[in-house]
Amino acid sequence: MKTLEITAKTVEEAVQTALKELQVDRELIEVEVLEEPSKGFLGIIGARMAKVRIKVKEDPVELAKNFLAPIFRKLGVNPEIKVSRKDKYYYLSCYGKNLGILIGHRGETLDAIQYLCNLAVNKKLNHRVHIVLDVENYRQRREETLIKLARKLSEKAKRTGRRVVLEPMSPQERRIIHTALQEDPEIQTYSEGQEPYRKVIISLK
């Protein structure tokens, strides 16, 4: 864990100086105030600057990459990883050759690796983050496919008057189906069954 001591007029000024020097976000540091600032007598005698010790916590992205590296080696792939972030979500997108093995049947392998990666990363942090792992924009393409499927099957439910039962899906994919049809005034969706065999049901209201 990298440590840095900074002296400034105020504690906050010392923290901001450390953030600029270390090039990290505030949530990735621990702040220990070593000395509180004091104006002293008449603002002159005994005046004291603020002194803080900054400790850099583990970086979620580096933890995720360290977890994934041996998996990639075992599978014989060496993807380029592009990282983006939104709030507590870290998106790791993999690009390269022969990466289908990371996706698996309908994304099952990808979901499993992502699940284990989140467990490994959050075990070493004192704040929770979410790692979203993707391969060659698979998740976006899968989402588009599921939205089309949801609309097609909703029309079938309207046409036949019978409910339509979809195949078992992950919670994330079921959420896509529910969201795609939530504005349809004639259709309702709900889930049945136990994980990992839980299914979405599409039926008339």
pLDDT computed for residue 196 by the predictor: 80
Q: Model confidence over 114-136: pLDDT tens digits?
A: 999 999 999 988 778 999 999 99
pLDDT computed for residue 1 by the predictor: 60
Contacts of 67 (CB under 8 A, 6+ apart): 116, 117, 120, 121
pTM of the model: 0.69
Q: What CATH class has 60-136?
A: alpha beta
Domain boundaries, the chain: 3-56, 60-136, 140-204
Q: Please tell us whether the domain made up of 3-56 is placed in CATH 3.40.50.
A: no
Q: Please tell us whether the domain made up of 140-204 is placed in CATH 3.40.50.300.
A: no
Flag whether pLDDT at 193 surpasses 80.
Answer: yes
Q: Model confidence over 52-82: pLDDT tens digits?
A: 888 877 889 999 999 999 999 999 999 999 9
Distance (Å) of CA 17 to CA 2, 4, 5, 13, 130: 15, 11, 10, 6, 28
Q: CA dihedral defined by 201, 139, 148, 171, rounded to 10 degrees?
A: 10
Closest CA to 32 of 2, 54, 57, 58: 54
